[in-house]
Amino acid sequence: MNPVARLFDQRIRGFRVIEVAALACLVLLVFWVYLTKAQAAGERAEIARIEHQIVAEQRKLRLLKAESAHLEQPSRIEQLSEAHLGLAPVEAKRETTPDTLPEIAVNATGGAR
């Protein structure tokens, strides 16, 4: 008897070995498909949750950007700097360039080194 025929003829407690093996494969396959599908559903739920979170964060970010634009607008900063820090635009006579700094330093110290 050739090995293939033997495989088909071999029995355990009245059941053909090949049939038992096929059934086991089938059960395993079904279980694997179930696990994979359940895992995929979980992944999808997680993706949906993260996407919702991204949308919420994006909205929050836009709101914060708008608030920051409102708070940082130049006219408001200027008012605050004048009111609380006493800052004002530098007068032309007090402006200088890096090249003239040594000259200013000499004048400030009266030429002493």
- Residue 6 near another protein by CB under 8 A: no
Q: Which residues of 59-84 are buried (b: 16+ CB within 10 A; e: fewer)?
A: eeeeeeeeeeeeeeeeeeeeeeeeee
- Residue 29 near another protein by CB under 8 A: yes
Tell me how far apart the alpha carbons of residues 2 and 34 are, in angstroms, rounded to a whole number: 38
Q: Which two tokens stand for residue 93?
A: 């006579």
Q: Which of 36, 42, 80, 87 binds another protein (CB under 8 A)?
A: 36
Site size with another protein, rule: CB under 8 A: 39
Q: Which of 22, 24, 80, 106 binds another protein (CB under 8 A)?
A: 22
Q: Which of 7, 21, 27, 48 binds another protein (CB under 8 A)?
A: 48
